């Protein structure tokens, strides 16, 4: 009998995407081939406590998370600074991790650093690559260096915010400006502003989520297109899909994505000219490689009315909910949900081996 792979799903987290992460984990769990995998669960609570497999399964199976957390917290000695992560001591027999912690502390390299310390393979990009992909400012700088088209922007921080006003940005970028926290996901903290009051209110709200805010030029009548990438050194791209948000919505919001997508239309694959599809695919693959990403990413594009594509954002741990585009795009491209998970786990092992070979084969010059 072939030994099963012992895989651990680590999900939840203290970001605004906590509940989305739980739903992604459910979908991955349900889609996994149980003849191939034994699966352990590690739920990170909103307070940053990592629950063990038993407590995580209780939440997974419908018990109120707050109730479970209150019960298990009684046994933790919080005078020990390692108390919140004590349950990771039970990872000895785990072969590979699948982190699905969306947003802060999950996509920014934090979880990846912890798993590196545990010396365990894990799905997705490494520490630096995750951090660069999560930070919209650094992403855009890397894309620009690689000659991958993206939108113009100014970076606003608490130190320079008095240098910017709506009128000043309007003179350079036009009437519509987007404000985006540099380190945040799922459209949280994003504001489309068209006057000074909206600018001031939007900036104040955006600063709740990060100290770096992008004031970004808008694209004329953009169409939102998405593409999924899979692979390490030699990534492949899915077909291109489109998102049609409800009329009157300003952009693809958090609610559109995760709360009520009933009015959102997905066109997968999207009917666009072959030349445009080829350009988006090329830009996505070049951007993926420029950031050094591994495993997977969903890459978002904006296409202007004149047919010019701009690479918008990179998502290194994309959603796996019922309405998430990453698995949908691969399914439309001939890779099922279950096969996609198998491939991601295989890529995790290959990247782990590559890193270890670099370290173990190192010989100093004589």
Q: Are residues 34 and 96 in the same domain?
A: yes
- Whether the per-residue pLDDT at 229 is higher than 90: the answer is yes
Token pair in block for residue 360: 């173990």
Please confirm, yes or no, whether 186 is among the known catalytic residues: yes
Q: Would you state the pLDDT for residue 259?
A: 47
Q: Are residues 186 and 159 in the same domain?
A: yes
Q: Is residue 129 part of a domain?
A: no
> How many domains is the chain partitioned into structurally?
3
Point out the domain boundary residue: 188, 217, 246.
217
Q: Are residues 255 and 316 in the same domain?
A: yes
Using alpha carbons, select from 19, 114, 8 the residue that is nearest to residue 65. 19
Per-residue model confidence as pLDDT tens digits over 24-51 = 999 999 999 999 999 999 999 998 999 9
Q: Are residues 57 and 74 in the same domain?
A: yes
Point out the domain boundary residue: 122, 139, 169.
122
Q: Is residue 128 part of a domain?
A: no
- Choosing from 125, 130, 324, 333, the catalytic residue is 324
Using the Cα atoms of residue 63, residue 65, residue 71 and residue 77 in order, give the sign of their dihedral.
Answer: positive
Q: Are residues 309 and 276 in the same domain?
A: yes
- Choosing from 17, 107, 129, 216, the catalytic residue is 17
Per-residue model confidence as pLDDT tens digits over 171-197 = 999 999 999 999 876 577 899 999 999
Point out the domain boundary residue: 191, 217, 243.
217
Q: Are residues 242 and 211 in the same domain?
A: no
Please confirm, yes or no, whether 187 is among the known catalytic residues: no
Q: Are residues 203 and 301 in the same domain?
A: no
What residue numbers bound the domain in which 167 lies?
Answer: 152-217
Q: Is residue 137 part of a domain?
A: no
Confidence band of 77 (pLDDT split at 50, 70, 90): confident
Q: Are residues 254 and 276 in the same domain?
A: yes
- CATH number of 72's domain: 3.40.50.20
Q: Is 195 annotated as a binding residue?
A: no
Please confirm, yes or no, whether 130 is among the known catalytic residues: no
Q: Would you state the pLDDT for residue 91?
A: 83
- Choosing from 21, 24, 56, 186, the catalytic residue is 186
- CATH number of 259's domain: 3.30.470.20
Q: Is residue 139 part of a domain?
A: no
Q: Are residues 108 and 212 in the same domain?
A: no
Q: Is 313 annotated as a binding residue?
A: yes
CA distance 109 to 130: 5
Using alpha carbons, select from 288, 286, 296 the residue that is nearest to residue 319. 296
Q: Are residues 209 and 160 in the same domain?
A: yes
- Whether the per-residue pLDDT at 1 is higher than 70: the answer is no
Q: Is 87 annotated as a binding residue?
A: no
Q: Are residues 238 and 306 in the same domain?
A: yes
């Amino acid at each position: 009998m072939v030994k099963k792979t012992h895989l651990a799903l680590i999900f939840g987290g203290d970001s605004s995407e906590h509940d989305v992460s739980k739903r992604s984990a459910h979908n991955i769990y349900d889609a996994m081939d149980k003849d191939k995998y034994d699966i352990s669960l590690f739920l990170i609570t909103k307070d940053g406590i990592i629950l063990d497999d038993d407590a995580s399964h209780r939440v997974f199976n419908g018990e109120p998370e707050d109730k479970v957390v209150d019960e298990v917290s009684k046994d933790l000695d919080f005078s020990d600074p390692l108390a919140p992560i004590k349950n990771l001591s039970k990872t000895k027999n785990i072969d590979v991790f699948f982190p699905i912690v969306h947003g802060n502390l999950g996509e920014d390299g934090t979880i990846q650093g912890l798993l590196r310390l545990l010396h365990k393979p894990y799905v997705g990009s490494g520490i630096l690559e995750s951090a660069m992909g999560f930070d919209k400012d650094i992403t855009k700088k890397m894309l620009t260096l690689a000659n991958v088209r993206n939108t113009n922007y100014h970076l606003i921080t608490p130190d320079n915010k008095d240098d910017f006003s709506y009128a000043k940005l309007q003179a350079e970028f036009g009437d519509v400006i987007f404000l985006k926290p540099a380190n945040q996901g799922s459209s949280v903290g994003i504001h489309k502003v068209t006057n000074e009051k909206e600018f001031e209110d939007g900036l104040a709200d955006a600063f709740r989520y990060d100290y770096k805010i992008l004031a970004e030029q808008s694209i004329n009548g953009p169409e939102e297109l998405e593409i999924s990438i899979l692979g390490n050194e030699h990534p492949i791209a899915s077909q291109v899909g489109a998102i049609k948000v409800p009329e009157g919505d300003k952009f693809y919001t958090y609610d559109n994505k995760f709360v009520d997508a009933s009015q959102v239309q997905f066109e997968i694959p999207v009917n666009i000219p072959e030349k445009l599809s080829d350009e988006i695919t090329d830009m996505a693959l070049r951007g993926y490689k420029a950031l050094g990403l591994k495993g997977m990413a969903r890459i978002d594009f904006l296409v202007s009315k004149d047919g010019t594509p701009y690479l918008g954002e990179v998502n290194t741990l994309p959603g796996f909910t019922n309405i998430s585009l990453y698995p949908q795009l691969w399914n439309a491209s001939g890779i099922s949900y279950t096969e996609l998970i198998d491939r991601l786990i295989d890529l995790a092992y290959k990247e782990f081996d590559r890193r270890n070979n670099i370290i173990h084969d190192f010989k100093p010059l004589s």
